[in-house]
Amino acid sequence: MLTIDGAFGEGGGQIVRSSLCLAAITGRPVTIFNIRANRKNPGLAAQHLTAVRAAAMICDADLRGDELGSSILTFAPQAAAIPGDYLFDVAEAREGGSAGATSLVLQTVLLPLALAAGPSRVTVLGGTHVAWSPPFHYLRDVFLPTLARLGVRAGLDLAAWGWYPAGQGEVTLSLPGGDSLSAANWPKSLRRGKLQRITGVAVAANLPAHIAQRIRNRAANLLDAAGLPHQLEPRRVRSVSPGAGIFLAAEYEHSRAGFSALGAKGKPSEVVAQEAVDALLAFQRSGAVVDVHLADQLLLPLALAGAQTTLAIERVSEHTRTNLAVVEQFLGPVARISGNRLEFMAGRGVGSKQ
């Protein structure tokens, strides 16, 4: 039984998600205590509790502490990941519902099911574009295409948009299964190459169409001023809760990066666009290969693939440092941080077919 302190480092929900994912893949039982101790409302929130129960379901785990607000959890897998059709609803984890992030639930079960023997289809109901989590478009346009280079095949579809506070969005992840994480096509020193294009969508949900158009126009003007190629689309969509935002993907010769900003009551459309574009321009100037969020999300798959590679990161976050510490409790030393570089050491990938 591995024991992990949930208050370590950044002390957030990523410690729980990474631990569950690695436990499901390695079969190693784990106890996590002080869960989300560094948060305003510590313990398991609705999205974390949904991820816990989802991970338990796919590997028939013995589970203790799976309650809203729980600060300690014991998770003991009883089987390798079981392929199949799954439905998880974040709203069921809390009375009155929740707009908890669907992307964070998917993060927990994606790799175990990708490595499972057969196909899986995972539908998650909840927030699809909410604060403090990767939006649907980031997973589809940045994370999954990058993960494909390590041998993971996955498709992601959006059936309904979910915004705070009601959520009720719907996302479906499709996995053929039988994949093997491999770093064979991953270079020892990843370079991003030239910027090929910037794509994006400016969205207004249950709001006047001119809001999406204003967000799109401001973003386009800023990118034009910077001399960067782009293709941006304004969209008006339906959802249970109103919402607005912009979601940008920068595609380089050898890598991708994503940037987004969400609207809020009283926040001008032009400010929403400015936030996302400013983040993109800062990344462009940095010369980094992966953005701060992708570095964090690639830690597990690169370590499981036994990669020997160096990533030039826009900025090493406390989130990334904490996630690395969790991964190494399961797998031993896999990487080191040197300045704004993440250097992976070659190893025997747990997620590879040996």
The yes-or-no verdict on residue 9 having pLDDT over 50 is yes
Lowest mean pLDDT among 36-40, 178-182, 247-251: 36-40
Q: How far apart are CA 50 and CA 52, in angstroms?
A: 5
Per-residue pLDDT, 38: 84
% of the chain surpassing 70 pLDDT: 98
The type of residue at 43 is: G
The yes-or-no verdict on residue 176 having pLDDT over 50 is yes
What is 195-284's CATH number, 3.30.1330.10, 3.30.360.20, 3.60.110.10, 3.40.309.10? 3.30.360.20
The arithmetic mean of pLDDT across residues 309-328, rounded, is: 95
The pLDDT mean for the chain works out to: 96
Per-residue pLDDT, 352: 58
Q: Which of 60, 239, 215 is nearest to 136 (CA)?
A: 239
The yes-or-no verdict on residue 27 having pLDDT over 60 is yes
Per-residue pLDDT, 348: 60
Q: Which of 137, 123, 216, 225 is nearest to 170 (CA)?
A: 123
The arithmetic mean of pLDDT across residues 136-148, rounded, is: 98
Fold match, 2-187+290-344 / 195-284? no
pTM: 0.96
The arithmetic mean of pLDDT across residues 346-351, rounded, is: 70
2-187+290-344: what CATH class?
alpha beta
Distances in Å between the alpha carbon of 201 and those of 216, 237, 252, 276?
A: 7, 11, 18, 11
Active site residues: 319
Q: At 59, is the pLDDT very low, low, confident or very high (cuts 50, 70, 90)?
A: very high
Q: How far apart are CA 273 and CA 305, in angstroms?
A: 37
The yes-or-no verdict on residue 353 having pLDDT over 60 is no
Q: At 182, is the pLDDT very low, low, confident or very high (cuts 50, 70, 90)?
A: very high
The yes-or-no verdict on residue 213 having pLDDT over 80 is yes
Q: Where are the domains of the chain?
A: 2-187+290-344, 195-284
The arithmetic mean of pLDDT across residues 195-216, rounded, is: 98
The yes-or-no verdict on residue 300 having pLDDT over 80 is yes
Sequential DSSP letters for 112-130: HHHTSSS-EEEEEEEBSS-
The yes-or-no verdict on residue 347 having pLDDT over 80 is no
